[in-house]
Chains A and B, each alone.
Chain A
Amino acid sequence: MRTRRIIAAALCAVALTATTAACGKSGSPSDSAATAGAPQLPTYQVKSDVKLDGSKTFAEAKKRGKLIIGAKADQPFLGFEDLTTNTRNGFDIEVAKMVAADLGFSPDQIQWQTLVSSQREPAIANGQIDYYVGTYSINDERKKQVSFAGPYYIAGQDLLVAKDNTSITGPESTKDKNVCTATGSTSIKNIEKYGPKITQYDGYSACVEKLLSGEVDAVTTDDAILKGFASKYAGKLKVVGKPFTTENYGVGLNKDDKALRDAISDALKAHQDNGDWKKAYDATLGLSGSPTPAIPPLVRY
């Protein structure tokens, strides 16, 4: 009898928390966006009758009626999957949608596929995805395996610190400080020479967790990723703003598909020129308070 009463009480508690959580969710996001006058995401005109001769990837996407795009899912305001609403959002996601629209695919014809960094090259080479947008730096070793369209964004390694931190002003001031970054990332090499103590976790959210609790002094990686976290924790964290490397983000695609590559480059150019790029930036990474970077010129190698 007593056990039954306890179970009933527990169920009540669960039900209560569930309803309050649901209430909080349904009201807040749209309201705050409307009242605060936050920048709105642009919508993209979907082109019809797109023809792309000689592109195997495009022909197959057309046949299946869906575009499969690879993305990251754990980078707030950059490439993020919101599991509560089952939507993707962020700057990289917007870039992927711009390109899709110019290839003739509407947002509901996009099938997203989350891929971690080490899965990118194999997935592109095997044709599991049509193209990939997710903080993908163009470098020579990768060019041996995949092609890149872009760059659509120039990032640089920077530092994320607590809002009231005045002691870290750039990489030179990280000596003997605790700095956190992702396991095995190139960011480690770049910061190592300044002599900090380095902590590494599998994802940046673990690093940010440690930063918020004050156990590490800074998180370092590309400023785009850091800006995303700064947007998420606006008022608590800030990006130092002294990038000390250059990372050219490109759209990754199959190595042999020149036709698709040109089409994606054209799409990026068109949306940079008509202002969509800037609008997408302002509504995502721009929320971090960091100044808008210049639009990089495309490299058609």
Chain B
Amino acid sequence: MGIMFENGNFALFRDGFLQTIELSAISAVLAMLLGTLLAAFRVSPIPALRAFGTGWVTIFRNTPLTLLFFAVEFGLPALDVHFSHFTFAVLALGFYTASFVCEVLRSGINTVPLGQAEAARSLGMTFGQTLGLVVLPQAARTVLPPLSSVFIALPRNSAIAGAFSVDELYHVQQTLSEQGYSIFAIFFWVALAYLVISAAVNLLFRFLEKLTAVAR
């Protein structure tokens, strides 16, 4: 277990850890914004937007993430779109996770009684106001537990980026394996790092749940 403290392995591990957090955090923000937008599309009165939302969710939720990474990393440059590998990884992870966020939010919107939206409309609110001021705040409360599952899965999914030129925890594991260190010692540290990240996300959502709890 002492492998982390010899030959500068710790610096490598720390950099990988931070890179995983950075990648996950930026992808999470993208997924949250995009997912909310998609959810709004899916419940909107405009058929074209509804179709777009449904299409997005169908494609991105059903494609294996590794394939998505391939499509982004090899497909976009072929179309003459050039970003850094990190940006490609954020796009792949963010687009993928957004489809899950969208579906979670949509299920939350469905829990809000129809009367709430009707009441908002009868007060003269627009669709945007109805959704943003009345429906989504109520929906957000109910979706926190399933949303936490989505965002615990995200840092773990981010390991795939390691195979596409992002120096994160998976990359650390590959580097140390290549140098010949015992695989069990390496996995102990890498697994511990993922556990720490997941636990932190979990605690954050617990806190949010407590904050928004209401008696019904």
Contacts and interface: CB of A to CB of B under 8 A. Distances in A.
Contacts of B179: 141, 186
A194 interface: no
B177 interface: yes
A201 B78 contact: no
A183 interface: yes
Contacts of B170: 183
A118 B183 contact: yes
Contacts of A182: 174
Interface of B: 74, 77-78, 85, 162-165, 167, 170-183
B23 to A, nearest CB: 15
A200 B165 contact: yes
B183 A122 contact: yes
The 10 closest A-B pairs by CB, nearest first: A184-B174, A141-B180, A184-B175, A118-B177, A202-B163, A142-B180, A200-B165, A183-B174, A199-B165, A184-B178
Nearest to A199: B165
A199 B176 CA distance: 18
Interface residue tally of chain A, by bracket?
Answer: 20 to 34
A22 to B, nearest CB: 27
10 contacts: A118-B183, A144-B180, A145-B180, A145-B182, A183-B163, A183-B165, A184-B173, A188-B175, A213-B77, A215-B77
Contacts of B183: 118-119, 121-122
Nearest to A146: B180
Contacts of B174: 118, 182-185
A201 B175 CA distance: 13
Nearest to B179: A141
A184 B171 contact: yes
Contacts of A144: 180
